[in-house]
Amino acid sequence: MTPTPRQGGHHGTRFRPQVAARGGGGGLDADTLRGVLAASRRLHTEALRRVEAFLTAHSPAYVAWSGGKDSTVVADLATRVDPDIVLAHFDTGFDFPETLDHQDRLAAERGWNLRRYRCGNALEEMIRTGAWDHEAPDLTIDGGDSEWLHVTRLGPAAMAAADTRANGWLWGLRASEAQRRLALLGRTRGVYQRADGMWACSPIWDWRDRDIYAYHAATGLPLSPLYAKLEALGCPRSSQRTSLIIDPGGLRHGRAVWLKRGWPDLWTRLTAVLPRLKEDA
Amino acid sequence: MSATSSSLIRHIRYGSLPFHACRLVEVTARLRSGAVLPPAGWFPAPLDGILAHAARRRRLGGNYGLVVDHHTEDLPLTSTARPAGEGQPRWKKQRWVWAATCAWWEPTAEEDVRWIHKRAWSIAQSSELGIDAPGTPANPDVGRYKPQRIPQVATITPTITWWCLGDPDRIRDLLGDVDAIGKKTNAGEGQVAGWDVADIGPPDWWRICWYPDGRIARPFPARHAPILGLENPEIVTVDAYRPPYWRPPITDTGRRAQVQVIAPTTTRPTPQ
């Protein structure tokens, strides 16, 4: 049998570089290596093109920047196209302190136009509206009329839109994160108009986790220190979340365990008012 | 109230051994498996908590977990409520603690993340599959029957060590009832192969206050800081500083309240 080039044959076996994982101590860094591959560079160029096309069609727009790894990539891409674009942080009053510090530092270093919008306290609303209730179904991002969603997402988004007179926003939603996101973003290719008339665009909608880390490594864009802290606690990359300190839906995925391990004093204060937290850690 | 009756009440209430009747005791648990214990930043597995659990279980027998009992267990340990000898700290009487450390293990111990999954069949799924499951919840999307994937971080170490001031024979006897420590013992974590209880010398409070690496070895209420030679130490809030550790103690007003203790990251002050 004549082997095909795909299987090796006359050209020898395929090259499979063995690289050390990030933080493995010495050796090659898999994220840096992936970031310099031609395939990654093409991905970055394509994402920049999407941002340019969106801003051309729907300017003015702002970037919804939570400080996590995905939205930070979008913030970097957007500021390359428009250095003055507003990076809007939806301040829920329930972010990790590390997140706010990271955003302030990054914005100061790079001259980014960071603005914070706040219309309530997520923890208070979570308790008041029953989202915390043990019998409540998990909230989804398109839950619409929930008051808790109003405080955490919809309210600040409306404030940012009014402040910047925006027609739309850029954000870091990705299809690989959940089935519902795949259904939405796959159908719309990352750009769609909401019922309220606003346009939303995720230029990285089809990126995978490893593409995000590769972008950070290749461009020198720092990750939030929360990721290093969670990794040191033993939290795998797939479970690392940096948005709200807790949310009702994240408990079933073990977020309370990492909170307890990494932030003991905060945990103790929270469990004083939310005793059921202990059931999830 | 006379001084005699007052001290009698204190003795009954505290139930600790006199300092001079104690020995410095090293307790070692030999483990069959990893143990799910709190990480740095917490006070892991206090020995007095393990002993109090064993004592209560022995006293209540089959009623353990079924009755409400606010009685403080008598433990074969001394406490800060008992006057110590010359060269020993002169503890304040209020907010007393037992003379026992939290767990200590080699800092080189590895950690391993184990995942606990919970899923429940819904009645609809059960009928579709022809499964007769009368105990299935009506709706597994809400409430306690939500599917879960919860991590548990196990510390992989062959032994865990504690130090305490007490009666080694009675401590050995109580620990004989304890066959597992930490969380998730029903899942096979924290299984103890055996206990080694060694009398290593005369009682010395300073060996109880600090780990060998200089970190504070147990939760001490903030008011004890000057006695430990600490000026303005970092303070953290915890549920309790003596057993039962899993819930805040009842205050004079009848309510449960969390308490402030010296932070677990505090290290021994260097002599001036």
A265 found inside a domain: no
Q: Taking CB atoms and an 8 Å cutoff, what residues of chain B touch A257?
A: 150-153
Is pLDDT above 90 for B29? yes
A148 found inside a domain: yes
Q: Which of A265-279, B42-56, B97-111, B133-147 has the lowest mean pLDDT?
A: B133-147
Is pLDDT above 70 for B133? no
| Start-to-end C-alpha separation, chain A | 57
A22 found inside a domain: no
User: Most confidently modeled of A67-71, A129-133, B81-85?
Assistant: A67-71
A258 CB within 8 Å of a chain B CB: yes
Is pLDDT above 90 for A106? yes
Contact A233 B153 (CB under 8 A): yes
Q: What is the pLDDT of residue A16?
A: 37
Contact between A66 and A100 under an 8 Å Cβ cutoff? The reply is no
Q: Taking CB atoms and an 8 Å cutoff, what residues of chain B touch A260?
A: 38
A94 found inside a domain: yes
Nearest to B237 among A235, A252, A265 (CB): A265
Q: Are strands A86-90 and A61-64 parallel, antiparallel or unpaired?
A: parallel
CATH number at residue A178: 3.40.50.620
Nearest-CA distance B123 → chain A (Å): 17
A7 found inside a domain: no
Q: What is the pLDDT of residue A135?
A: 65
pLDDT digits (tens, 9 = 90+) for B191-229: 999 999 999 999 999 999 999 999 999 999 999 999 999
Contact A268 B39 (CB under 8 A): no
Confidence of residue A272 (pLDDT cuts 50, 70, 90): confident
Dist CA A219 CA A43 (whole Å): 13
A137 CB within 8 Å of a chain B CB: yes
Mean local confidence (pLDDT), B231-244: 91
Nearest to B146 among A236, A252, A261 (CB): A252
Measure the CA dihedral A249/A252/A254/A255, to 10°. 10
Q: Which candidate in B113, B235, B247, B255 is best for mutational testing of the A interface (most A CBs within 10 A)?
A: B113
Mean local confidence (pLDDT), B138-166: 86
Nearest-CA distance A47 → chain B (Å): 33
Specify the number of domains making up chain A: 1
Mean local confidence (pLDDT), A237-249: 82
Which of residues B85 and B262 earns the better pLDDT score? Answer: B262
Share of chain B above pLDDT 70, in %: 86
pLDDT digits (tens, 9 = 90+) for A170-202: 999 999 988 888 999 999 999 999 888 999 999
Which of residues B15 and B91 earns the better pLDDT score? Answer: B91
**Nearest 5°: CA angle at A57, between A54 and A60?**
80
Which of residues B249 and B100 earns the better pLDDT score? Answer: B100
Q: Which of A35-44, A187-196, B136-145, B164-173 has the lowest mean pLDDT?
A: B136-145
Which of residues B147 and B212 earns the better pLDDT score? Answer: B212
Q: Taking CB atoms and an 8 Å cutoff, what residues of chain A touch B258?
A: 268, 272
A245 found inside a domain: no
Ramachandran region, residue B175 (left: φ > 0; alpha: ψ -120 to 50; beta: rest): alpha
Q: Taking CB atoms and an 8 Å cutoff, what residues of chain A touch B146?
A: 138, 252
Tally the C-alpha atoms within 13 A of residue B185's C-alpha that lie toward its C-beta. Answer: 11
R_g of chain A computed on alpha carbons: 20
A258 found inside a domain: no
Dist CA A220 CA A190 (whole Å): 25
Q: What is the pLDDT of residue A8?
A: 37
A264 found inside a domain: no
- CB-based contacts of A28, cutoff 8 Å, min separation 6: A17, A19, A20
Domain that holds residue A126: 27-222
| Start-to-end C-alpha separation, chain B | 44
Confidence of residue B3 (pLDDT cuts 50, 70, 90): very low
Contact B236 A268 (CB under 8 A): yes
Q: Which of A235-239, B69-73, B111-115 has the lowest mean pLDDT?
A: B69-73
ipTM of the shown complex: 0.79
Calculate the average pLDDT of chain B.
86
Q: Taking CB atoms and an 8 Å cutoff, what residues of chain A touch B144?
A: 134
